[in-house]
Amino acid sequence: MDAKRAQEISNTSSMTKVTYNGTDVYIEHVDQQNGLATIHPLDNPNQKQSVNVSSLEER
C-alpha cells in the first residue's frame, strides 16, 4: 500500500479491511512524508505501533 491510499482509508468512515503481517488492523494516523502509519490490531486498541505503509495490505 502507498501512503496516499493509507491516508484515504484512515479518513473514511467505512471500515476497509487492512492487514499487517496477517493481522487485521486499524489505521489511526498516516505520516505521508515519511511513509509511516500508526496502527493497532482491531482486537487490541492499546497495542499501537508505527509501521511502514508498504507493509500494510488492503483486502
Q: Convert the pLDDT of each residue in 10-59 to its tens digit.
A: 998 788 999 999 999 999 999 999 999 999 999 999 999 999 999 999 99
Q: Which amino acid is at 14?
A: S
Query: How far is the C-alpha of 14 from the C-alpha of 31, rounded, in Å?
Result: 20
Query: How far is the C-alpha of 47 from the C-alpha of 36, rounded, in Å?
Result: 16
The helix (H) or strand (E) run that includes residue 25 is strand 23-31
Phi, psi of 51 (to 5 degrees): -135, 160
- pLDDT for 42 equals 96
